[in-house]
Structure 1
Amino acid sequence: MLTSLSIKNYALIEDINIGLQPGFTIITGETGAGKSIMLGALGLLLGDRADFSSIRNTEKKCVIEGAFSISNYKLENFFKKEDLDYETQSIIRREILPSGKSRAFINDTPVKITTLQKLGTFLIDIHSQHETLSLGNANYQFNVIDTIAKNESLILQYKSELKDYKVLLNRFDELKEQQSLAAKEYDYNLFLLKELEEANLKGGMLEDLEGRYEELNNVEELTENLSSAINLLQQEEIGSLESLKAVKVNLSKIAKFSANYENFHERIQSVIIELDDLEAEMTDAMDRIEANPEELEMVNQKLQLIYNLQKKHNAENVEELLEIISSLQEKVSVTENAESALTEIQTAIKDQEKVLDKTSNKLHDNREKIVPVFIEQTEQILKDLGMPNARLNIELEQGTDFLSNGRDKLEWYLAANKGGNFKEIKKAASGGELSRIMLAVKSILAAQSKLPTIIFDEIDTGVSGEIAKKMGEILKKMGLNMQVIAITHLPQIAGKGASHFKIFKEDNEVATQTKIIQLEEEDRVEELALMLGGNTKSDSARAHAKSLLN
């Protein structure tokens, strides 16, 4: 519950600080005194967008701070998830700086506005006059029924399943589009692929072919030069090998004189061995050289084919052509495997539809069970509120489409008077009747949601007299289980509060200020008498005020 509220430098408020109690609290004040300012400040604590124009003195920062007692509301996991220090008496603070920048804190830890908004849903429900009109909104109607039916976790499960379902549908559409495009290019891609595959390309083959082509195209020059080189090595008188062997004989005679000469002898021996091997390999290579015009033509054709493919595909080497083959194989495969891929994803879609059917059926069953109970409770409260003949009808039909919260379609209908026809609730009820219906709904929800605090902003619109008194009794009863704060113009409701605050405007030499004070017993009598008698406070009005308080 909200235990204290401090507002500084906000709109007409310079500095106020109030302490709040459990139970039913009343806030009264003349029109324009600043009740809406209080709600605006509370809205900032709950994550509403900050407005720089709301700062009273633009040279100072605006600070709004609320203390909340949360020990009974099992919020430890929320604080842990948001990486916040959990305190049973938690402080929320919102600041608007002169620069226009807004800051938010929970227990002095800076937080994002979204975190405030999340925490706010667990702490306070602010019912504005505008919200009464939402009774005719399907989303609001669903929210009421689902809250009473305790469908929250099931709704989250359904939304997760629906998200997966939509992903599959999108994937199916994307695949169909890809396959449509691939089908148009299939013949051309297949032609290119076959042309490349028939070339039997392998990494490094271009270099091998170019080397073989040079050999076959220069047989005579190779033979002539190899033969000459071999002769120069093998001639008995001037051949290189014979000369080196003579050198070896000379060095062998002096090798014994020192390690240096021994090294000369060993090195010349190595040279002779290397030249012997080289001569043998050159002889073998020359023996294998022969003119082969057919092979030369075949190698030349293969080279020209590769060169043409490189030019056609703008590739610098065979490796890039191999990458193009892989890409074309994938594109062709998409088309050739189209049916099996579509069938696979269609199967997944059908399986997910079964999952959604199961969850949406549970939602429907839960709603169907709670609707008659909700109607009975609502009609009973409306009877107490002066609508004895009001009848509520809720049509719940399950369709085939998967909607955001199941497959159900929901509509509330009201027959406000005896013998009247059912009409959509927003068309069948007057402003006062809508207020009473909303109070009935809120009182039922309060028992289910167990929110710490609910604030009503003029829930009494369009009612008076005995009906207002009944409203006050319902609000007081709600206050037995939670903190209820009501902003009201009606003394019949104001008299039911356990505590009573008055908002008023006061002029000083500089500016007008909004202030708030808590009224004691005698002050409450005077305030109620003023509400009863207008601008005058007669003895009869005071007597009536005392009777309302008693």
Structure 2
Amino acid sequence: MLKQLYIQNFTLITELNMRFNPGFSVITGETGAGKSIILGAIGLLLGNRADSKQIHPGAKKCVIEAHFDLSRYGMDDFFERNGLDVDPNDTIIRRELTAAGKSRAFINDTPVPLTTMRELGETLVDIHSQHQNLLLKKDDFQLSVVDIIAKDQGLLKDYRNAYQEYRKAEQQLETLKAEIIKSKENEDFLRFQFKEIDDAHLQADEQQTLEQQSETMSHAEEIKTALWQTDQMLTGEDNDLVDQVKNAAQKLHNIEAVFADAKDLADRLDSSYIELKDISQEVSNSMENVEFDPQQLQEINERLDTIYSLQQKFHVETIADLLKIKDDIDEQLSHIDNSDAQVAELESRVTKLQEKSQQLADRLSQARAKSAQQVEKEMRERLIPLGIPNVRFQVSITPKPLSADGCDKVAFLFSANKNMQLQPVAQVASGGEIARVMLSLKAMISGAVKLPTIIFDEIDTGVSGSIAEKMAQIMKEMGDNNRQVISITHLPQIAAMGTTHYKVYKEDTPEGTVSHMRMLSPEERVKEIAQMLSGSDITDAAISNARSLLKLSQK
């Protein structure tokens, strides 16, 4: 329930701080006084788009804040899910808009995305304005009414999950078939590519080895010369460096007893001798192993040419990349070879999911058919007292292909006269009749939906007299049923029925025109309703009539 509304610097409102009561309240005021401005401010709290032009001229910032009592509506899950502090007795929603166009949203003083504010707002307030009558032209609205009365939300959720899974599998099947068609078109080319790589018998590490062998054999003479020269320096007859180191070590060993430092030096030379001797042996072996074989070099280079050619053709740099391409092609060919089995398996899954969705859709249809009878009965009961004695109201349910909301197409058919054929309500009902139909629908579904506050913006369009009084009675009954109902009206019959009466009015000031809103006292209500009855020239008869209306409304 809306407890308090604070508006600062919003269009013609410089500051407004208004408390609201439970039950049925009414708001009156002359056309252009600012009632739509208040609705616009509440709309911003429900997540509507903001415009910096809505800020009061000269102001830097606009603030709109509302306090709600949600203690009877069990909405803690929303706050826990969004990590928000929760106080059911005083939930605060605030929207701030700067002249620079920056918009910020808060729930219980915590900044939130606008989508989160919108999600909460949709569960707090329903604003019914004249443009909402256009909902009667929309199939999804009519279907939602039937679902609300059927109380089938759990079943509808199960169906939507099943349908989503079915559609996902169906899309996977379509994708697989498309891939198979494309792959089969390229099958010959894929097999050619696979064979080309496979025939090369590539080994993961051979390229580096072959490149090294090629490099070595290409410089065989240079290598052998350097090795021979090294060997001569180490062990040649004219300069046997290895033996010289050995002899030097022995001479130092001979003087160990008389020169203590000689032993350490001799040991180090011994180690050097062993290392030089080992090096000398490896140099000698390498000399024998390095041979120039033109045929072998040709074979190596031809093998490398094969590898380089494949790498260039497939735009890669390593054998590992080529082997991966081969594996990928092999997988594609495997899909082609096994495509019939894959398609059959996925088709079977699609069929099972479709059957499951259809079963749930059929259960939905049964619940909706039962709900439709209840809607028809209750709408007739509500519309007859509202001045349509010969009303016929039928909920037409016809089958349609499986979709996100089931397999039912719902249309509200209407006839106000005995001899008039039933037709879609939006096509044949007058403005006044549509207003009564929408009020009846709202009254009917409000009992099934936990919606704290409903605001009717001139729901009385096209009606007057006793019909307006009966519409007011419906709104009052809705307000008495643990719900807050606020009606913006121009009709005295509706205004008199409100438990609380607010007036919106304009005032000219040196700074410009400003809109205000205040709660009327009992005597002020009499004057306001009398003015609604007779115009600006309030007569004694209008005053008397106003008192009578107020007295009757309290019974």
The interval holding the TM-score normalised by the smaller chain is: 0.7 to 0.9
Distance 2:242 2:548 in 1: 138
How far 1:419 moved relative to its partner? 3.4
Amino acid at match of 1:499: T
Give aligned pairs, total: 549
- Give the 3-state SS of the residue equivalent to 2:387 in structure 1: coil
The question of 1:445 aligning with 2:445 is answered yes
Distance 2:542 2:226 in 1: 134
How far 1:444 moved relative to its partner? 0.8
Report which stretch shifted further, 48-57 or 291-300. Answer: 291-300
Structure 1 residues 347 and 14, CA, compared in 2 at 3 Å: closer, same or farther?
Answer: same
How far 1:441 moved relative to its partner? 0.8
Amino acid at match of 2:471: M
Report which stretch shifted further, 161-170 or 479-488. Answer: 161-170
Report which stretch shifted further, 375-384 or 508-517. Answer: 508-517
Amino acid at match of 1:183: K
The question of 1:532 aligning with 2:547 is answered no
Amino acid at match of 1:484: V
2:396 aligned partner: 395
Amino acid at match of 1:403: S
2:120 aligned partner: 119
Deviations 1:316-357 (A, max 9, x none): 443443344344444444444444443444344334323422
Amino acid at match of 1:182: S
2:45 aligned partner: 45
Amino acid at match of 2:55: I
How far 1:127 moved relative to its partner? 0.7
1:3 aligned partner: 3
Structure 1 residues 285 and 47, CA, compared in 2 at 3 Å: closer, same or farther?
Answer: closer
Deviations 1:146-181 (A, max 9, x none): 111223344344444444444334433333343443
1:420 aligned partner: 420
- Give the 3-state SS of the residue equivalent to 1:385 in structure 2: coil
CA contact (8 A) 2:143 2:409 kept: no
How far 1:380 moved relative to its partner? 0.5
Equivalent residue runs for 1:425-440 within 5 Å:
425-440=425-440
How far 1:464 moved relative to its partner? 1.4
1:515 aligned partner: 516
1:102 aligned partner: 103
Deviations 1:337-395 (A, max 9, x none): 44444344434433432342243233222212211111111101111112122111112
Distance 1:198 1:539 in 2: 111
How far 1:141 moved relative to its partner? 0.4
How far 1:37 moved relative to its partner? 1.8
Report which stretch shifted further, 497-506 or 55-64. Answer: 55-64
Distance 1:62 1:215 in 2: 83
Equivalent residue runs for 1:488-499 within 5 Å:
488-499=489-500
CA contact (8 A) 1:310 1:316 kept: yes
Distance 2:238 2:14 in 1: 122
Amino acid at match of 1:205: E
Distance 1:374 1:232 in 2: 112
Distance 2:494 2:166 in 1: 50
Amino acid at match of 1:489: H
Report which stretch shifted further, 220-229 or 269-278. Answer: 220-229
CA contact (8 A) 2:24 2:500 kept: yes
Structure 1 residues 223 and 5, CA, compared in 2 at 3 Å: closer, same or farther?
Answer: closer
The question of 1:455 aligning with 2:467 is answered no
Distance 2:41 2:443 in 1: 25
Structure 1 residues 245 and 237, CA, compared in 2 at 3 Å: closer, same or farther?
Answer: farther
1:31 aligned partner: 31
TM-score (normalised: structure 1): 0.88
CA contact (8 A) 2:34 2:505 kept: yes
Distance 1:151 1:242 in 2: 103
Structure 1 residues 295 and 435, CA, compared in 2 at 3 Å: closer, same or farther?
Answer: same
Gaps of 5+ in 1: none
Distance 1:281 1:303 in 2: 29
Distance 1:548 1:344 in 2: 73
Distance 1:274 1:135 in 2: 100
Distance 1:203 1:367 in 2: 66
CA contact (8 A) 1:58 1:98 kept: no
2:172 aligned partner: 171
Distance 2:225 2:17 in 1: 112
Amino acid at match of 1:516: M
Structure 1 residues 182 and 465, CA, compared in 2 at 3 Å: closer, same or farther?
Answer: same
Equivalent residue runs for 1:367-378 within 5 Å:
367-378=368-379
Structure 1 residues 284 and 378, CA, compared in 2 at 3 Å: closer, same or farther?
Answer: same
Amino acid at match of 1:412: F
Deviations 1:234-265 (A, max 9, x none): 88998666666655654443344345333444
Deviations 1:50-69 (A, max 9, x none): 22222232334322222211
CA contact (8 A) 2:232 2:239 kept: no
- Give the 3-state SS of the residue equivalent to 2:462 in structure 1: coil
Distance 2:251 2:126 in 1: 114
Report which stretch shifted further, 224-233 or 177-186. Answer: 224-233
Structure 1 residues 293 and 372, CA, compared in 2 at 3 Å: closer, same or farther?
Answer: same
Distance 2:544 2:270 in 1: 137
Gaps of 5+ in 2: none
Distance 1:34 1:237 in 2: 118
Deviations 1:20-59 (A, max 9, x none): 2111111122222222222112112222112222223233
Distance 1:170 1:424 in 2: 36
Amino acid at match of 1:136: K
Equivalent residue runs for 1:66-215 within 5 Å:
66-87=66-87, 88-210=89-211
Distance 2:101 2:305 in 1: 73
Structure 1 residues 259 and 170, CA, compared in 2 at 3 Å: closer, same or farther?
Answer: farther
Amino acid at match of 1:524: R
Structure 1 residues 95 and 236, CA, compared in 2 at 3 Å: closer, same or farther?
Answer: closer
TM-score (normalised: structure 2): 0.87
Structure 1 residues 282 and 44, CA, compared in 2 at 3 Å: closer, same or farther?
Answer: closer
- Give the 3-state SS of the residue equivalent to 1:43 in structure 2: helix
Structure 1 residues 310 and 255, CA, compared in 2 at 3 Å: closer, same or farther?
Answer: farther
Structure 1 residues 396 and 220, CA, compared in 2 at 3 Å: closer, same or farther?
Answer: same
Amino acid at match of 1:76: D
Distance 2:417 2:343 in 1: 58
- Give the 3-state SS of the residue equivalent to 1:208 in structure 2: helix
How far 1:143 moved relative to its partner? 1.5
Distance 2:29 2:261 in 1: 119
1:385 aligned partner: 386
1:59 aligned partner: 59
How far 1:217 moved relative to its partner? 8.1
Aligned-pair Cα RMSD in Å: 3.3
CA contact (8 A) 2:67 2:91 kept: yes
How far 1:13 moved relative to its partner? 2.4
CA contact (8 A) 1:392 1:412 kept: yes
- Give the 3-state SS of the residue equivalent to 2:448 in structure 1: helix
CA contact (8 A) 2:9 2:59 kept: no
- Give the 3-state SS of the residue equivalent to 2:480 in structure 1: coil
Deviations 1:269-301 (A, max 9, x none): 445555665666677777888998876665454
Structure 1 residues 256 and 57, CA, compared in 2 at 3 Å: closer, same or farther?
Answer: same
- Give the 3-state SS of the residue equivalent to 1:479 in structure 2: helix
How far 1:480 moved relative to its partner? 0.7
Distance 1:123 1:415 in 2: 34
Distance 2:215 2:5 in 1: 95
Equivalent residue runs for 1:277-292 within 5 Å:
none
How far 1:423 moved relative to its partner? 0.8
